[in-house]
Structure 1
Amino acid sequence: MSTQNQYFPEPGTLEQLGSYHLLRPLRRGGYATIYLGEHQYLHTLGAVKVLNTWFATGRDTQRFLAEATLQARLRHPHIVRVLDFGVEERIPFLVMEYAPHGTLQDRFPQQSQVALDVVLPYVLQLGAALQYMHDNGVLHCDVKPQNVLLGPQEEVWLCDFGIATSVLKHYQEATDGSNGTALYAAPEQIRGRPEPASDQYALGIMLYTWLCGHFPFSGSTTQVCHQHLYILPEPIRVLMPEVPKAIERVVMRALAKEPARRFPDITAFMKALQQAAHPRPTLSRGPLKWVRSLLNAKHTS
């Protein structure tokens, strides 16, 4: 992560927010910065997300407050927990659990080829979090490795609900102008009509990228969005013949252009992935014929 950001305050500008002493920056973005904070009384660590009010618009402020409210009501072992929220000297801030092992992006650098058995435990945990969100009427709309934290036991914590949306509300901004998001955006999300299957598509892009070692689509944001809309990804086994056919079928189904052609929900996607990764052994016809002959012999004796 680059240490240069024109919107990041000079060292010493922010030292304390609420009960948290700000130790160092962890992550920086255009509208918010995340610091490592220490509670002044309990001496526990937290991730303090601070709105960059010197740059943020009124819409950004509304979005930040909505993110805090939404994230606070989502209680799941694989969703990062909100510890506190406040406004100090007109600066809104959100305190979350601190993830000492970074993100999945840190664990598996961009476009690294990773075996399915390595990433499968993370994917299953992420899938459980997404299904919980969908069951509660919420879409994440920004599923990508940068937004998946690794907790103290390296458990998955889904984070960054800045553009998460209720399925009952009109979605205003599909890709948020971010190429990082566009790389994972489903066709219907690009068109401004996301649905639960959009998060499934993003998870499919993550799997495709890990298995193949690169994104299915590349280019400018506009070019990537065009490819999501109209171009089929190269079949995985064309690029990586060693990937089992069953795995390819599951991932490619999650990447179908039409949401109705994907899995009915995230749970079905995860079950299919598990079955493809660890198929149940089947008895060969030889042993079955031996059993039948043994039974026939008993009946005739």
Structure 2
Amino acid sequence: MNFKMSKSLQDQALEWASFVTGESLLSWTTIDRPNRDSRIFKIYTSSKMLILMLRLDRNNQNNLQLQSRQKKDIEREVSALQNCIGMSPKLVNYAPEYGALLFDPIPDNYPSLTDLLCESNKNNIDNVIQLPLATLAKIHRQPVPIQLVDSDFMEDLYLHITLNARQLCPQISMPVLSGESVFLHGNPNPGNWKQISQSEGIWLDFEDSYAGIAEFDFGYFLGHLRVLFRDKAINSVLTSLKQINLTVNEDYIIQVSEVVYYYVIATESRYKRYLLVN
């Protein structure tokens, strides 16, 4: 569901941001969220980067009401960020009443994994994806904050992905995963990785973090790569996981990636620009 941002919505977001930071605003952008009833504002001051998520709740066919994120959603993301220091943006502060997170600014010249994949040789992406996967595995080894143990959130996330995937593949279902529950990123798509150097990078957007099975994160990651590289991505991801000495259920990963592949195609038209093979 897509909403056009009204001037009043824009003005209110900037007013909130100015109040929360107490600083003059230098620049801002909005982040499109396909198929979600919300808008994200990325706002820069001289010393901070503020991420402000505003939910758009439909009261009737013609009226949209602005609301900030629910407190438990903010607490989930904050707890995830606080347990992923060095693997995520540096959280400076947060204002739950405004649905706002304040970070140290991330330089615009850090490429995303999507950028790197589009620049890489289509037949050899292993070197590009190994660091993001290794960092994802490191996140999985962090202690699981109690805020991430939420079976209802997990079920809602799986349902959201599956229902959208069924727009293109009506019979598809998320596999029933079993195994040790770990700290998951929840949304490890290529656009959420920023490469800082050859040996360092960070994952962004811990909004969907929860406690679950590691294969979900890897399958979600693979599903996005299959949009870009079709089935060539399967061998690249599984090989990279072996190279970083991970023992995983490969069948789970492939099954999750199937669902996520159709989910991405159904909901994220931005990937049409990045289709690298026919």
- TM-score using structure 2 length: 0.54
The equivalent of 2:184 in structure 1 is 139
- The answer to whether the 8 A contact 1:48-1:94 is kept is yes
Give the whole-Å Cα distance in 1 for the aligned partners of 2:50 and 2:136: 23
The equivalent of 1:27 in structure 2 is 31
Equivalent residues, number: 195
Q: Which runs of 5+ in 2 are unaligned?
A: 58-65, 143-181, 243-247, 257-278
* Equivalent of 2:88 in 79, 100, 106: 79
| More RCO (CA 8 Å, sep 6+) | 2
Question: Do the aligned partners of residues 139 and 20 (structure 1) sit closer, same or farther apart at CA in structure 2, a change above 3 Å counting?
Answer: farther
More helix by share: 2
TM-align CA RMSD: 4.3
Give the whole-Å Cα distance in 2 for the aligned partners of 1:151 and 1:27: 21
Question: Do the aligned partners of residues 74 and 91 (structure 1) sit closer, same or farther apart at CA in structure 2, a change above 3 Å counting?
Answer: same
Residue pairs, 1:25-174, within 5 angstroms: 25-29=29-33, 30-38=37-45, 43-44=46-47, 46-52=48-54, 55=57, 60-76=70-86, 78-87=87-96, 90-99=97-106, 100-101=108-109, 104=112, 107=115, 112=118, 114-115=120-121, 119-136=125-142, 137-151=182-196, 155-167=200-212
Matched, 1:199 2:179: no
Structure 1 residue 165, shift from structure 2 partner: 0.3
Structure 1 residue 126, shift from structure 2 partner: 1.3
2:133 counterpart letter in structure 1? G
1:50 counterpart letter in structure 2? L
- The answer to whether the 8 A contact 1:105-1:146 is kept is yes
- TM-score using structure 1 length: 0.50
Give the whole-Å Cα distance in 2 for the aligned partners of 1:207 and 1:84: 33
1:132 counterpart letter in structure 2? K
Give the whole-Å Cα distance in 1 for the aligned partners of 2:69 and 2:11: 27
Give the whole-Å Cα distance in 2 for the aligned partners of 1:101 and 1:108: 12
Structure 1 residue 156, shift from structure 2 partner: 2.5
Structure 1 residue 94, shift from structure 2 partner: 0.2
Q: Which has the larger radius of gyration?
A: 1
Runs of 4+ in 1 over 6 A off after TM superposition: 56-59, 251-255
Question: Do the aligned partners of residues 13 and 64 (structure 1) sit closer, same or farther apart at CA in structure 2, a change above 3 Å counting?
Answer: closer
Q: Which runs of 5+ in 1 are unaligned?
A: 168-194, 217-234, 237-242, 263-301
- Secondary structure (helix, strand or coil) at the match of 1:9 reads helix
* Equivalent of 1:258 in 244, 252, 269: 252
